A and B are shown apart, each in its own frame.
Chain A
């Protein structure tokens, strides 16, 4: 088992293994998302309170969940890279960040669009989740901006790792702060997901979407990490053998 992990941490092995895994992840993702979307849009019954608008849940929740998953992956791999000096870990953190930012943006956009018919406004500062997502977007931007500002890759890795870890401590605090703040308002009711007892016909598509998007995220992440690895290892022999033998590229 340790040997497998040890092998995995070696860039060329990772590069090849990831290439094999990605198509499978993509296929599973496509199947689950196709089922989830169709069932969520057309088969699940309309919500008693929100009508058909609740169907946005099937894209909003996966997006929000992925935004947080990506941040966790980013922070954990950054920490591993910082403490154990694993190059591959830093590559994972670097790859996760832009994906996380995209899904955070998607969560915010779908959340805002969902909010319009529900709250009557495009933005509701009192909603703790929306505000925490916004702050998480800033965390992602900060991380990516810091990386971009430092030329030396190793230095950028370590500096951004410190930032990611500090941010990770902060995310739950931010969420709690905004929740406290909004609980003091006599504000509009928060968007309830699904209804008092979420029935199977509503639940299964949601689970399918969440799992499906996770596989999609996995595929996208693995492919971005492959790119990172290729760049970081550009001077290594295995890369030269890969790209040059008969002029073929990866």
Chain B
């Protein structure tokens, strides 16, 4: 446990690392979500055109 206390600076150090993890996760998820959204949107629009051809 003492290892985690980081000599009184614990909250500062750990909040930074946690924040980094959160930012990386959010930006990754955001990117994947958007890709899925675009993929779905484009697929839908292509399917709409199909019957007419």
* Mutual binders A and B: yes
Residues of A within 8 A of B (CB): 37, 41-42, 46, 51-53, 55-56, 59-60, 63, 98-99, 102-103, 105-106, 109-110, 113-114, 116-117, 216, 220, 223-224, 226-227, 230-231, 234, 239-240, 243-244, 249-250
- Cβ B39 vs Cβ A55 within 8 A: no
- Cβ A59 vs Cβ B20 within 8 A: yes
- Cβ A226 vs Cβ B12 within 8 A: no
B23 / chain A contacts, CB cutoff of 8 Å = 102-103, 105-106
- Cβ A223 vs Cβ B35 within 8 A: yes
- Cβ A249 vs Cβ B46 within 8 A: no
- Cβ B31 vs Cβ A223 within 8 A: yes
CA distance in complex: A227, B32 (Å): 9
User: Residue A226 contacts which of B3, B26, B35, B46 (CB distance < 8 angstroms)?
Assistant: B35
Chain A nearest CB, measured from B36 CB (Å): 8
Which of chain B's residues has its CB closest to A111's CB? Answer: B16
A98 / chain B contacts, CB cutoff of 8 Å = 27, 30
Within 8 A of A (CB), among B21-45: 23-24, 26-28, 30-32, 34-35, 38-40, 42-43, 45
Query: Could you jot down 11 A-B contacts, CB within 8 Å?
Result: A56-B16, A59-B16, A59-B20, A109-B19, A110-B16, A220-B31, A227-B35, A230-B35, A243-B46, A244-B43, A244-B50
User: Residue A52 contacts which of B7, B19, B27, B46 (CB distance < 8 angstroms)?
Assistant: B7
User: Residue B20 contacts which of A53, A110, A114 (CB distance < 8 angstroms)?
Assistant: A110
Which of chain A's residues has its CB closest to B6's CB? Answer: A52
- Cβ A249 vs Cβ B40 within 8 A: yes
- Cβ A239 vs Cβ B3 within 8 A: no
B31 / chain A contacts, CB cutoff of 8 Å = 220, 223-224, 227
